[in-house]
Structure 1
């Protein structure tokens, strides 16, 4: 296939992506222009939440932000890296686009939290251990004493998706194994757009009955999540990630709200973490 045909092919793919995103926006059930008039005043809803035993962060912002739709071309980025992993025993699953590996030599993990994270960072940043390891950042809210979770970074923000995840397992103060999936380089496919505020995301969850009574909002963060796959590319959209703790069970759930529309995302977006 010559160079000009390749250019035309990419042009057609991005046009299709643009059309799809346009349709999604038109189908959106929330109008950004009517955000402050459809769900009552902020003060009254905050009072209702307090009455229901829902605790909010003291610094929950009502300011909007800006973000992009992103696209990543689907490819087996990890399979070509197996030969360079000389310090671990690694296998690759094409169906899951995931590498699973165990250290060939003992890697001790001891000390306080800071020392442990320093050891894990040194391990993951070595390309003989973990491919693309430098592209991942630690996420405390998704980790435990034995499971340390890292999410993929991009120049536009962090990606919270099973296709962009590094999980390191520690047992008996040693690195036992790790699993990694990698989404590849991401690029914007639409112009920069305004997002809703963190407070509006929480309000949408409450009015949509996605916040249970006697719960606590631990953290709210803007990041990227998977929207769909279009012609071999994964489309990501900005989402407000909301960590919610059940006051009774102490379970923590991560929920996601579309940062453009305020719609609570229901499919493959909520899971529980037992601390």
Structure 2
């Protein structure tokens, strides 16, 4: 094996990633030191939102945060784990890189919500049931009575992407099946950088008409979303994730704001039954 050639290939790949990220930053510059300066006061914008029947959490931080550009290698992590899943009947689809599994023995859950969640976590954390299960964290704002949603974690934060999710389905207080996607370990490709504040993200959404009348901001947090793919790697960036509920339909939309540039990213809508 030509190790020198492999070393050069890795060097070229990460050089291309660095060039790509540099171009992204140049195309979408943000003066982070003045990221939260505004001609309108927080109270004024809150007043405007209230007149539009938009409800906000009582406290939204006006302090900048920080995050990394992360990269994961695009590999088939799940197919080799199928033979280890002795407690479930599993199959892996290369078409959508998804693992589908059904328990061989019925797992009956408690009718108490907290106890049931504990049981689901115990099921998830058993490597004979779910591969890499301990690397997934329960996400209540993306779950419903019939589906427990988990997002992949990393040393730098949670990853909110379709390619990093575990959904465990339940019917009549029993786990019926689950689907899983997994990105593998994530590592920084650039140094730690300042981000905009949570309030700056909300303000940007309002100015861009991403907060519609008669809605409620249920939650806001900093996580990671997929940016692009470069030479066999997936690039993730810090993202302000904002859950917005339509007061009439109760539909929830997960809005994504680039935490470096305040630009809107792709959002996703789903129904949550409480």
> TM-score, normalized by length of structure 2?
0.96
The match for 1:226 is: 226
Deviation at 1:41, TM superposition (A): 2.8
The match for 2:235 is: 235
Structure 1 gap ranges (5+): none
The match for 1:111 is: 111
The match for 1:200 is: 200
Q: Residues 39 and 95 of structure 1: is their aligned pair in 2 closer, same or farther, counting only changes over 3 Å?
A: farther
Deviation at 1:42, TM superposition (A): 2.2
Looking at structure 1, the residues matched to 96 and 180 of structure 2 have their Cα atoms a distance apart, in angstroms, of 10
Matches within 5 A, 1:1-275: 1-28=1-28, 30-32=30-32, 35-37=35-37, 40-266=40-266, 269-275=267-273
Deviation at 1:255, TM superposition (A): 0.6
Deviation at 1:6, TM superposition (A): 1.5
Looking at structure 2, the residues matched to 76 and 138 of structure 1 have their Cα atoms a distance apart, in angstroms, of 23
SS of 1:249's equivalent?
coil
Looking at structure 1, the residues matched to 141 and 186 of structure 2 have their Cα atoms a distance apart, in angstroms, of 24
Structure 2 gap ranges (5+): none
Deviation at 1:178, TM superposition (A): 0.1
Structure 1 residue runs of 4+, over 6 Å off? none
SS of 2:106's equivalent?
coil
> TM-score, normalized by length of structure 1?
0.96
Deviations 1:205-254 (A, max 9, x none): 00000000111111001000000000010000010000011111111111
| Cα root mean square deviation, aligned | 1.3
Question: How many positions carry a matched residue from both structures?
Answer: 273
